[in-house]
Structures are given as C-alpha cells and as structure tokens.
C-alpha cells in the first residue's frame, strides 16, 4: 500500500484551502500556495514516473486501498499505472499553467477562485486514479461543481447561460453513469452473492446480452458528454467561450480527457463484447465529430469559440481510435489526448492574451499581429500548425497512429478521418490569415505589447513539449503500452470465450468484431 498516492489528490485540495484562507490577507500569498500545490503535484507525478515500475504480481505502479463502506463493498481504492500516470502528469502541468495565467485576469474573490480551480484539479486526479466505481462516480460529480462556479462567477457576458448548459449536460451524463454503475453492481451481486464496486470484480461479471448492451450505453453516453462527442457536444462551445482562462484550460486540457480516459479504463474492460458490437456506431460518431467540429470551426469569428470547435474535432479522433480496438489506434487516442492538451492550452492562453491587449476576440477586428507583436504571432503560428497536424509536432503522431489503426479495421472511416486533416488546415490557415496578417485595426491607437517574460516562459515550455512528443514519442508510447496491451488482450480473450459456447451471441457481425482486437504493435 502506497499512501503517498493520495497526495496527488491531497496536494491540490490543501493548496486550494490555504489559498482561500490566505487571500483574506494577501493575494500574492494565495497564488504562492496555489502554485506550490500544483507544482508539487506535478513533481510528485514525475517522481512516480521515473522511480516506480510494476512488481510483476500487479499491473499497478502504486496502489492504496482503505475500507470505506465495507457492507456495500465500497473502498477508497486508488491505483496508478502508465495511463493514469500520463493523465495525472497532465493535470499537474495544466494546473501550473492555469494558476500562472490567472494572475493578471482575476480581480474579485481571488481566494475562492483559486479554491475552485484547485478543487477541480483534485477531483480530476481522483477520476484518473479511482479503481472503485462508486469512488470514481464521487470524483466525477465533484469535478462538476467547481467548474460550474468558475464559469458562473468569473465568466464573461453570457456566463449564466453557458454555466447552466454545462451543468445540465454534464449532470445528465452523470446520472446515466450512476444508473450504469448501480445496474452493473446489481448484476454482479446476483451472480456472486456479494456486493462490490471494484473494477477488478465488475469486469468479470457475466452479463446477459441485452443487459450488457444497455449498461454499456449508459457508460458510453456519460463519457461521450464529457469527451464531447457529436451529438452531445452542445455545451462545449459556450462553456469554453464564456469561461475564465483557468476554466478554458481545465476544460480543454483535462475535462475532455476524462471522457476518453473513462472509455479506455472502464468501458472497454467491463463491456468488451458490447463495445466490439457497438464499435461501428461509435466510430461513425467519431468521424462525424471530426468533420463537424472542423467545419464549424471554419465558420467562427470568435477566437475562443473557434478553438472550442477544434476540440470537438480532435476529440473525434480519440473516439475513433478507442473503438478501433487495436493497439495502434488506442495508443494514438492516448497521444491525441496529450497533444491536444498542449496545443489547446497554448491557443486558449494566446486568445486570452489577445483579448486582454486588444479588447476583442473577434477575428474581423484583429489583424497585423505578426508585425506588431512578432513573438506572440510566431507562437500562434506554431500552435496553429500543431493543431492542424504538421509532421514533427505532437498532433501528427497522434493522428497518424489513430488513422493507421483505423485503416486496419475500416478503410472508409480511415479515409473520412483523413479528410478532417484537410478541413483543419483550412480553418487553421484562416485563423492565421485573419489574426496575424493583413492590416492592423485602425481603432487601435497603438500596437499591442508583445509577450512578457513570464508569457515567453510559458509558451516556450509548451513548444518544447509539443516538439518533444512530435519528435520523440517513444517514452509516452512505452509508458502506456502495457495498459493498452492488457486491454486489447482482455478484449480478444473475452470475445473468444463468449463466442465459443453459443456461437456468436452478437449476431452475424461478431466475427468481424473479434478480428478488430488482434493487431498489436511489434
């Protein structure tokens, strides 16, 4: 038992409480506590990354399990493996960026703002670590509350509508998740005679085909809302546009990834046969999201809204890769979550910088940024190229792996997914043209100031991460490979075992579904 694992949750939560208290006396002290907590959590994750390795008897790098409600089979069970290691490292990095970016933009209730920010980070880390499904659901719901408050209190003009839409969509998804967890627990209890919410137990439950399908759909709908997938994406653009900078960073960099993580960690291991049968529908939704998000991004004039729709498009690749059900595509889905976190965070930071300097995010009122603020313009051009998947950058590796894995399963879906790359080039070049080139708006009396020293440091760090993943992705692939291989092998074994006794319980499409899980990287 490694009790230090709880520090990944405890550090942000404690830092948020200290920041809330310290803000009554000095705002700088509140930011210092917040920065120390997020940086400490990130450094602790790096310590786990470089110092821990599986013991051979367990797939977990670190694990802690404490009794909570034994009568109901509920425990405080956390586990860290390669997948959750990547996700928690991402949480720490985004947390540091969110605290630094908020220093000049938040003027009211600073302490409570930092508490909400760090509270959301603690809950997100809990999502990435929880191995008890009841505990997972608690963290899933706790993530909603501080994000709702961030948008509602510190958002922009239409924050009330955006926060309400965010709450209704995510709460509806959460209720479906709760129903799915309860139904799964009851099915396991009827089979074994005892109650458990443990992932290791529930994924062994023998579900009737109809029951399994409905429960899988409940899990899928909950995760699809967070991803977000078409057609349950309607909350995202408004939430991103109206959220303060920390809200945009957490939403784009982490909340969307919670949906993809849920699909990989819970849906595939618990419902392998049902996922294989549902794969064509899910992949069709992924392709639709890719094309729809890219086309909608092309039509936006608000810079933050444009970036929000690009997130829908990029998360479509995650959905497409997850349900291709082979190692190549699943590795690509994980890489896409990491690559998108870096590029989207950078673009939202740049949108905030532009808005604070020029008083607008309207593309039609911008222009000439490359000439008046060449450093800012150069950074924006870099991340616009990263967003469209330029070779050598992180997004290209992710998209290449996803499309290669999907090509092995369905050529049509791979071709349609590749079309998204063409549309992404169009909206990225349009953004570059309208923001960086052309003549400066005559309403502005002076040129906007270029990047400050702190802003240069933040942008440099994001550029280095994007280049590192794009040019040397193997460390990330190695970190998540064991997890992905285990999921793929579980899928294959389950498909074979369920097909043998009764033929193919999934119907005439079952042989094709089984074949999708057999291809792995050498």
Same domain, 233 and 364: no
Statement to judge: residues 198 and 327 lie in one domain: no
* CA dihedral of 204, 207, 211, 214, whole degrees rounded to 10: 30
Is 277 in the same domain as 249? no
Domain match, 395 and 509 both: yes
d(CA 451, CA 375): 6
Distance of CA 475 to the CA centre of its chain: 20
C-alpha closest to that of 252 among 332, 299, 314: 314
The DSSP call for residue 80 is E
Cβ atoms of 62 and 52 within 8 Å: the answer is yes
Q: What angle do CA 157, 163, 169 make, to 5 degrees?
A: 145
Q: How confident is the model over 305-325, as pLDDT tens digits?
A: 999 999 999 999 999 999 999
Cα separations in angstroms, 313 against 298, 344, 417, 449: 11, 12, 10, 32
95-134 pLDDT, tens digit each: 999 999 988 888 889 999 999 999 999 999 999 999 999 9
Mean pLDDT of 67-83: 91
- Please report the pLDDT score of residue 339 as a whole number: 93
Asked whether residue 518 carries a pLDDT value surpassing 50, the answer given is no
* Same domain, yes or no: 254 and 384: no
Query: Is the model's pLDDT at 266 over the cut of 90?
Result: yes
Q: How far apart are the first and last CA of the chain?
A: 34
* Helical pair 209-226 and 272-298, crossing angle rounded to 10 deg: 30
pLDDT reading at 11 higher than 80: yes
pLDDT at res. 295: 92
- 494 and 359, same domain (yes or no): yes
Residue 495: band (very low, low, confident or very high) from pLDDT cuts 50, 70, 90: low
359 and 278 within one domain: yes
Of 142, 399, 85, 98, which Cα lies nearest the Cα of 251? 98
The 3-class secondary structure across 4-39, one letter per residue, is: HHHHHHHHHHHHHHHHHHHCCCCHHHHHHHHHHHHH
pTM of the model: 0.90
User: Is the pLDDT confidence value at 58 over 80?
Assistant: no
Which two structure tokens, joined as six digits, stand for 180?
């799915």
- Three-class SS state of 432: helix
**Residue span of the structural domain in which 415 resides:** 271-441+448-522
Residue at which a domain ends, from 196, 231, 264: 264
Q: Of 1-5, 14-18, 50-54, 61-65, which gets the smallest average pLDDT?
A: 1-5
Query: What percent of the chain lies above the pLDDT cut of 90?
Result: 61
Backbone angles phi, psi at 367, to 5 degrees: 135, 150
| Residues 285 and 347 occupy one common structural domain | yes
Evaluate if residue 443 carries a pLDDT over 60.
Answer: no
Same domain, 355 and 228: no
Mean pLDDT of 321-348: 93
Sign of CA dihedral 405, 411, 416, 421: positive
pLDDT value for 501: 44
- The residue with greater pLDDT, 41 or 1, is 41
Pair 488, 329: CB distance under 8 Å: no
* Nearest one of 377, 376, 379, 380 to 451, comparing CA atoms: 376
Q: Of 264, 282, 314, which residue constitutes the final position of a domain?
A: 264
Domain boundary among 210, 232, 264: 264
Residue 285 pLDDT exceeds 80: yes
Alpha-carbon distance 63 to 303, whole Å?
42
Q: Which two tokens stand for residue 105?
A: 């933009």
Please give the Cα distance from 31 to 104 (Å, whole number). Answer: 11
151 and 242 part of one domain: yes
pLDDT above 50: residue 516: no
Q: What is the pLDDT of residues 161-174, one digit of tens each?
A: 999 999 999 999 99
Structural domain count of the chain: 2
Question: Quick check: 446 pLDDT over 80?
Answer: no
Question: Is the pLDDT assigned to residue 91 strictly greater than 60?
Answer: yes
Looking at the fold, whether 120 and 178 belong to one and the same domain comes out as yes
Question: ω before 231 within 30° of 0 (cis)?
Answer: yes
129 and 202, same domain (yes or no): yes
Res. 513 pLDDT band, cuts 50 70 90? very low
**How far apart are alpha carbons 78 and 13 in whole angstroms?**
16
Those residues with Cβ within 8 angstroms of residue 304's Cβ, 6 or more apart along the chain or in another chain: 240, 241, 248, 348, 351, 355, 361
DSSP 53: -
């Amino acid at each position: 038992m490694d009790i230090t694992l709880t520090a990944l949750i405890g550090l942000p939560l404690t830092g948020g409480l200290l920041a809330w208290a310290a803000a009554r006396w000095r705002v700088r002290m509140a930011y210092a506590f917040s920065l120390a907590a997020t940086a400490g959590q990130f450094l602790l994750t790096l310590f786990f990354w470089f110092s821990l390795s599986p013991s051979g008897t367990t797939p977990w790098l670190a694990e802690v399990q404490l009794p909570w409600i034994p009568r109901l089979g509920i425990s405080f069970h956390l586990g860290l493996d390669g997948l959750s290691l990547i996700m928690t490292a991402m949480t720490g990095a985004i947390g540091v960026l969110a605290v630094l970016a908020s220093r000049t933009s938040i003027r009211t209730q600073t302490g409570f703002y930092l508490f909400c920010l760090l509270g959301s980070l603690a809950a997100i880390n809990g999502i990435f670590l929880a191995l008890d499904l009841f505990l997972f659901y608690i963290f899933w719901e706790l993530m909603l509350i501080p994000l709702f408050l961030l948008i509602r209190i510190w958002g922009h003009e239409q924050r009330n509508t955006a926060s309400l839409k965010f709450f209704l969509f995510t709460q509806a998804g959460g209720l479906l998740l709760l129903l799915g967890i309860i139904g799964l627990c009851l099915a396991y209890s009827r089979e074994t005679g005892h109650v458990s919410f443990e992932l290791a137990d529930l994924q062994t439950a023998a579900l009737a085909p109809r029951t399994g399908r409905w429960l899988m759909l409940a899990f899928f709908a909950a995760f699809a809302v967070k991803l977000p997938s078409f057609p349950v994406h309607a909350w995202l653009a408004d939430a991103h546009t109206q959220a303060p900078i920390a809200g945009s960073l957490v939403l784009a960099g982490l909340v969307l990834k919670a949906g993809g993580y849920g699909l990989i960690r819970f849906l595939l291991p618990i419902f392998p046969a049902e996922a294989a049968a549902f794969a064509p529908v899910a992949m069709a939704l992924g392709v639709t999201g890719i094309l729809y998000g890219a086309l909608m991004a092309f039509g936006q004039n608000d810079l933050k809204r444009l970036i929000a729709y690009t997130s829908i498009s990029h998360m479509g690749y995650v959905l497409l890769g997850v349900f291709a059900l082979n190692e190549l595509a699943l590795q690509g889905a994980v890489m896409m979550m990491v690559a998108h976190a870096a590029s989207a965070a950078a673009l939202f930071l740049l949108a905030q910088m532009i808005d604070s300097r020029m008083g607008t995010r309207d593309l039609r009122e911008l222009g000439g940024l490359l000439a008046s603020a060449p450093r800012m313009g150069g950074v924006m051009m870099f991340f616009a190229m990263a967003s469209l998947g330029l070779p050598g950058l992180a997004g290209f590796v992710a998209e290449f792996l996803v499309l290669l894995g999907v090509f092995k399963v369905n050529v049509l879906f791979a071709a349609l997914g590749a079309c998204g790359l063409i549309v992404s080039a169009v909206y990225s070049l349009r953004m570059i043209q309208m923001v960086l080139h052309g003549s400066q708006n005559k309403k502005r009396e002076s040129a906007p100031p270029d990047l400050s020293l702190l802003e240069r440091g933040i942008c440099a760090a994001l550029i280095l991460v994007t280049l590192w993943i794009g040019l040397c992705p193997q460390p990330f692939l190695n970190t998540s490979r064991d997890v992905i291989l285990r999921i793929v092998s579980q899928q294959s074994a389950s498909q074979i075992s369920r097909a043998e006794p009764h033929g193919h319980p999934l119907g005439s499409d079952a042989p094709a579904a089984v074949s999708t899980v057999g291809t792995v990287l050498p």
